[in-house]
């Protein structure tokens, strides 16, 4: 097995010319012959470097608006030839093919072009053909050839050459090949994903791709390795957030912060402040308020025990008054669209608290795909962007909900959408007062949420449970009347649910008997 291989000839053809000149100058300093194409060759010449045009070694000029320039045996033969195979060497000699020991290519900016809103034809023209073909060829022959696809690897290659007097080691070339194949795979996945969306078809094969953002200390548990990959989208999210302070985000931090931020985005900032507190991917408190401080306090009061060590998400920039309240308890992460200077200074007293800003909220109506891995494959579905307007609600009981009940029902319904099934949410006056999540039976979630409301009354020293006079949201239909009866016993006066059970009539009759108001949405919000 070849180990140290000297680099004598390099082919450089890049779209992103960041750092190209100093990199090429150092290669030339090692006496490495430089081949190049188009704009890359011009940039190198303008910097005073000696460059051989690829057209001079192929005998063909660039043609068809640059679509054809490197697809030639003199290029691919130089990349693919096995230097220890006599037949390959004879073929090279017979056809005048010279070895290429280093390929430096980054691809047409297809992802950026599509993200910028390019039309179909423009996107097609930004699909690179020659680049991926050369990258795959060089990566396949990493026994002898180095391939660099990322600007960030320039320094690593130069360090390897310095360490080995102009040569590279086999393990280093293997690592470059891995990065190269990962890049072409991600590039093809981006093209496939774009065409899937453009044609509105389900492809026969589905590929996931991402760029590593962070190697994590561990996954959900210390014995699990983990990393965080970004898909390149610019949607405000945990992936695009700026971390201003605090310890490195963990796997669970990222997962929980995503859950919190997606829920708080359901509440339009134009309608006033909203706060979400999440623990283990479930909300333990959600509230709106006349101020962000009031919204936070109401969300915190819903379940002060669970809020300890939780994730806080805000739908408006964090201000100093709210920051003063937040630092009174241990919090893992705070994420908000922005933060004022005074609030940031307050947070600086809590060095371990992770503070993230996103410069905006995601559009909760924007369509996208969600992936869940299962043994042997993965499930792909549309993101749940279902939203119910008051005009779409169907009153199914004799009593109609009051205006206040209706507002609270819609509030609770938004929250229930983000609670693990079976999900039950008690809400009153624009805040949750009890949340039951993730139970195998709906009636158990109803009981747990009512118990949470009792706990809230005890902690806040209230005269009665805040469930009295509350409304209840259920993410799916009540299969029996028992869940509804449990809610009524706790003091709830109105309910919102999808409907659709074979026992709907029985459940409606129980609601009428108890004097409850109930509306059907016709939409389910299972979350597993």
The arithmetic mean of pLDDT across residues 234-251, rounded, is 94
Distance CA 288, CA 299 (A): 8
The arithmetic mean of pLDDT across residues 164-188, rounded, is 93
Higher pLDDT residue, 197 or 275?
275
The arithmetic mean of pLDDT across residues 312-319, rounded, is 97
Is the pLDDT at 342 greater than 90, yes or no?
A: yes
The arithmetic mean of pLDDT across residues 230-243, rounded, is 91
Strands (E) in 157-309, as ranges, are 167-168, 211-216, 226-230, 242-245, 274-279, 282-288
Global pTM value: 0.84
pLDDT tens digit string along 138-157? 999 999 999 999 999 999 99
Is the pLDDT at 344 greater than 90, yes or no?
A: yes
Give pLDDT, residue 1.
42
Is the pLDDT at 2 greater than 60, yes or no?
A: no
pLDDT tens digit string along 403-456? 999 999 999 999 999 999 999 999 999 999 999 999 999 999 999 999 999 999
The residues that are catalytic are 140, 280
The arithmetic mean of pLDDT across residues 334-354, rounded, is 95
Map 423-444 to HEC letters: CEEEEECCEEEEEECCCCCHHH
Give pLDDT, residue 68.
65
Distance CA 264, CA 316 (A): 10
pLDDT bin (cut points 50, 70, 90) of residue 127 is: confident
For 150, phi and psi rounded to 5 degrees?
-120, 135
pLDDT tens digit string along 102-125? 999 988 888 888 888 889 999 898
Average pLDDT, the chain: 93
Return the percentage of the chain with pLDDT > 90, whole number. Answer: 78
pLDDT bin (cut points 50, 70, 90) of residue 72 is: confident
Distance CA 453, CA 448 (A): 9
SS3 content of the chain, % helix, strand, coil (to 5): 40, 20, 40
The arithmetic mean of pLDDT across residues 280-294, rounded, is 97
Is the pLDDT at 355 greater than 80, yes or no?
A: yes
């Amino acid at each position: 097995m070849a180990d140290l291989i000297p680099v004598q000839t390099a082919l450089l053809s890049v779209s992103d010319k960041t750092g190209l000149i100093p990199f090429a100058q150092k290669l030339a300093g090692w006496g490495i012959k430089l081949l190049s194409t188009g704009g890359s060759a011009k940039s190198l010449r303008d910097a005073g470097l000696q460059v051989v045009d690829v057209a001079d070694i192929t005998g063909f000029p660039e043609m068809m608006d640059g679509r054809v320039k490197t697809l030639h045996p003199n290029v691919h033969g130089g990349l693919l030839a096995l230097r220890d195979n006599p037949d390959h060497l004879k073929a090279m000699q017979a056809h005048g093919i010279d070895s290429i020991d280093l390929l430096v290519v980054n691809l047409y900016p297809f992802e950026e072009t599509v993200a910028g809103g390019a039309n179909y034809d423009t996107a097609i023209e930004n699909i690179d053909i020659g680049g991926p073909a050369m990258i795959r060829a060089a990566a396949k022959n990493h026994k002898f050839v180095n391939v660099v696809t990322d600007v960030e690897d320039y320094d690593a290659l130069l360090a390897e050459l310095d360490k080995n007097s102009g040569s590279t080691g086999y393990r280093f070339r293997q690592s470059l090949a891995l990065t190269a194949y990962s890049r072409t795979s991600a590039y093809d996945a981006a093209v496939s994903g774009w065409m899937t969306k453009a044609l509105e078809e389900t492809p026969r094969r589905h590929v996931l791709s991402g760029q590593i953002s962070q190697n994590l200390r561990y996954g959900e548990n210390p014995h699990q390795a983990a990393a965080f990959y970004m898909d390149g989208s610019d949607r405000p999210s945990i992936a695009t957030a700026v971390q201003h302070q605090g310890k490195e985000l963990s796997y669970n931090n990222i997962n929980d912060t995503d859950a919190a931020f997606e829920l708080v985005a359901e509440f339009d900032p134009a309608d006033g402040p909203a706060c979400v507190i999440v623990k283990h991917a479930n909300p333990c408190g959600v509230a709106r308020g006349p101020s962000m401080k009031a919204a936070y306090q109401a969300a915190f009061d819903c379940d002060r025990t669970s809020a300890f060590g939780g994730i806080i998400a805000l739908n408006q920039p964090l201000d100093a008054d709210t920051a003063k309240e937040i630092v009174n308890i241990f919090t893992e992460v705070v994420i908000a669209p922005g933060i004022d200077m005074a609030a940031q200074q307050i947070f600086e007293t809590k060095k371990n608290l992770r503070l993230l800003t996103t410069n905006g909220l995601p559009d909760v109506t924007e369509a996208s795909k969600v992936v869940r891995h299962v043994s042997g494959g993965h499930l792909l579905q549309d993101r749940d962007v279902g939203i119910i307007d008051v005009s779409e609600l169907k009153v199914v009981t004799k009593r109609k909900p009051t205006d206040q009940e209706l507002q609270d029902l819609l509030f609770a319904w938004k929250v229930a959408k983000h609670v693990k099934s079976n999900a039950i949410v008690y809400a009153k006056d624009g805040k949750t007062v009890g949340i039951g999540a993730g139970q195998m039976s709906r009636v158990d979630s109803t009981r747990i949420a009512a118990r949470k409301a009792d706990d809230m009354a005890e902690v806040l020293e209230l005269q009665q449970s805040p469930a009295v006079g509350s409304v209840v949201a259920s993410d799916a239909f009540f299969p029996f009347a028992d869940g509804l009866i449990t809610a009524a016993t706790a003091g709830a006066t109105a309910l919102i649910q999808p409907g659709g059970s074979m026992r709907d009539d029985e459940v409606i009759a129980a609601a009428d008997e108890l004097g409850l108001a109930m509306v059907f949405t016709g939409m389910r919000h299972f979350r597993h």
